[in-house]
Amino acid sequence: MNGFEVEMDSVGDVQAAEATGVSNVDGIGLTRSLPYGRYRMTVSGNGWHARDLVTLEVGKPLALTVVAPTPNQLGELHLQASLATDGLTDFPFGEWEVKGNRGWGTRIVPQPGEIQQDSGDWKTFPTVSDGIDVVAVVVEIAIKRRIKQPSGNHLTWEWRQSSDVGQQPSLKWLVQSDGTVRPLLSVSEQNCQISRPTAWFQNLAPDKEKDSSESERSSHSERLGYHVLTLGSEHQDSAGIELPAGQFQLSNDTIYGRPTPNVLQVIDKKPESTAEQIWLHGVILHESPGWLTRLLGDSWDHDRRGVNKEVDVALDARKEVAIGVGKQAASDDVSKSPRG
C-alpha cells in the first residue's frame, strides 16, 4: 500500500516517543529505532483509518505487516424517504433556551404522552398541524471494514471524508416527509429573542401584564434556538449514494421541522443563500428516543446517542433502506451492472 501515513505514539508509563512515516511503493511506511514499550499505531490512507496497540520488546525488532482496504471497492446505498408525521402531531419544534447562573441551557422536550401533562408550557410552539409544513430526520453514515491480518487477528478500518468534502459523497443526509432527500453539508446553530408578543413562542415573549423593566429582564432570560442548514442537490423519494463497500451504521439523533412563513416572520431571519434553510428542532433525550421510534419504527436500535441501524453494503451491490414507517419498502441487495 503506497502513500499510507503511519504514526506511532507511546502509551502508558514508558519513555515518551513518537514517530511518523509514509509508505513507499514497496509498502514500507516506517523504519525507526524507538524505546521499548507499548505504542498506539495509526495507519491512514485512501480515506481509511485504523488503530491498533503494538508492543516493542527489548532486543526484539518488530516487523509488522498491515493489510489495508483495497481502493475503489464501492457499493451503493439507497436512502428511501418514507417518513409519516402521524406520530408527531403534538411534538413542539424549536429550542427553548433558558439563561441560568452558568450560562444558557436548553429545555428537553417531554416524552410522547407527557406533553399534555406539561402544564401547557409548550402549547404555543409550532407543531406539525400548526406552524410546521415538513418534518425531517438527519441520517448520518459511518463505514467500517474488518480485514484479517497476517497475524490472524482482524483490524477494523473506518472510512472518513477528507477536508475536501465537495469532491466526495456526503455522509450526512436530510430525509424529509415530503419525499425530498438532500445532502446535509453544514449546520449553524443560531438563536433570537422574541421581542414582542406573538401567537408563537408565547413563553419566550415579553409578558404584557408585567411592567416594562420586569418584562425586559424576562425577555432576555429566555430565547429561541434554531438551525440554519446548508443543503446539497435535491433527490425525490430516494437518493443513491456510491460509497466504499463495508458495514454501514446509519444513525439519527435529531428531528427537524420546517417552519411555515408565519413562523419565519417571528424568527425574523433570512438565509444568506438559496442553499440555506431555517429549520426548528426540539432537544430530546437520546436515552429515551420515543419520538424517533415513532418516526423510524421499531427496527432501529437505540442507545445513549440516538437510534441506529447496521446494514452491509457489498461490493458492486445496491442496498435499499427505508427511512421511516410511512411506506412499505424493500431492503434488499441488488446486483449492479459491471462498471465500465
Burial of 153 (0-12, 13-18, 19+ CB in 10 A): exposed
Looking at the domain assignment, is residue 158 inside a domain? Answer: no
The H or E element that residue 294 is part of is helix 290-296
280 and 312 fall within a common domain: yes
Element (H, E) at 263: helix 261-267
Considering the domain architecture, whether residues 52 and 86 belong to the same structural domain is answered as no
Q: Are residues 52 and 79 in the same domain?
A: no
Are 43 and 91 in the same domain? no
Task: Give how far Cα 12 sits from Cα of 8, 33, 190, 238, Å.
Answer: 13, 19, 42, 49
| 31 and 113 co-located in one domain | no
Per-residue pLDDT of the chain (340 residues; tens, 9 = 90+): 788 999 999 998 778 899 999 999 888 888 888 888 999 999 999 999 999 999 998 888 888 899 999 988 999 999 999 999 988 988 999 999 999 888 899 999 988 878 766 556 898 999 998 999 999 999 999 999 999 999 899 999 999 987 665 567 899 999 999 999 999 999 999 999 987 788 899 888 876 555 444 444 444 689 999 999 999 999 999 999 999 999 999 999 899 999 999 999 999 888 888 889 999 998 888 767 789 988 998 888 887 777 899 999 999 999 999 999 874 443 444 445 443 3
Q: How far is CA 297 from each of CA 235, 293, 302, 321, rounded to the nearest angstrom? A: 23, 5, 11, 13
Q: Is residue 67 included in any domain, yes or no?
A: no
In a shared domain, residues 170 and 208: yes
In a domain? residue 150: no
Residue 105 and residue 23 in one domain: no
Per-residue pLDDT of 230-249, as tens digits, reads 999 999 999 999 999 999 99
Q: 9 with 136, same domain?
A: no
Model pTM score: 0.86
228 belongs to a structural domain:
yes
Query: How far apart are alpha carbons 337 and 334 in whole angstroms?
Result: 10
* Domain assignment of residue 157, yes or no: no
Residue 71 vs residues 68, 85, 109, 159: alpha-carbon distances, Å: 9, 41, 44, 11
Which amino acid, one-letter code, is at 158? E
Domain count, the chain: 2
Same domain, 85 and 29: no
Residue of 256, 137, 265, 255 lying closest to 201 (CA atoms): 265
- For β-strands 317-323 and 74-81, DSSP reports them as parallel
- pLDDT for 338 equals 41
Give a yes or no: residue 248 inside a domain.
Answer: yes
In a domain, 68, yes or no: no
Question: Is the domain of 120 the same as that of 266?
Answer: yes
Residue 9: domain span:
5-56
31 touches 23 (CB < 8 A) = no
Res 332: pLDDT: 44
Flag whether 81 is in a domain. yes
The x, y and z cell numbers of residue 156, run together, are 477494523
Task: Count the Cβ atoms, other than its own, within 10 Å of residue 196.
Answer: 9
Asked if 181 and 83 sit in the same domain, the reply is yes
Whether 123 and 11 share a structural domain: no
Nearest to 175 by CA among 138, 202, 124: 138
Number of Cβ atoms within 10 Å of the Cβ of 80: 19
